[in-house]
Amino acid sequence: MSLLANILGFSAFGLAARVGQLGIQKRNLLDNPGGHLSAMGVFGYAGYWAYHWDQRASVLLAERRQEIVERRQKEIAHAEASGAAALELE
């Protein structure tokens, strides 16, 4: 998912949360548009942060998977070498 889509999605959720909040309080939904903008800004920033966190987590997982593959290849090579050495002793 792209950065813009993530920010817009979180901002839309912030707007929905603000409208829901005002609906519960039975207040006019268009009374204070600054509140709507601040809620959208805060939730949009949360979307920005979540996007970058997800990207960093993907990089860390890829690095970790590569380390696991390399470790397994070393273990296989070691097991094959020790198996070949055992066959030579027989």
Contacts of 50 (CB under 8 A, 6+ apart): 6, 10
Run of H or E including 44 = helix 33-89
Contacts of 56 (CB under 8 A, 6+ apart): none
Residue 31, SS3? coil
Q: For residue 79, is pLDDT > 90?
A: no
Task: Tell me what pLDDT residue 23 has.
Answer: 93
Query: In this prediction, what percent of the chain has a pLDDT beyond 90?
Result: 78
Would the pTM of this model clear 0.75, i.e. be above it? no
Q: Return the sign of the alpha-carbon dihedral for residues 82, 85, 87, 90.
A: negative
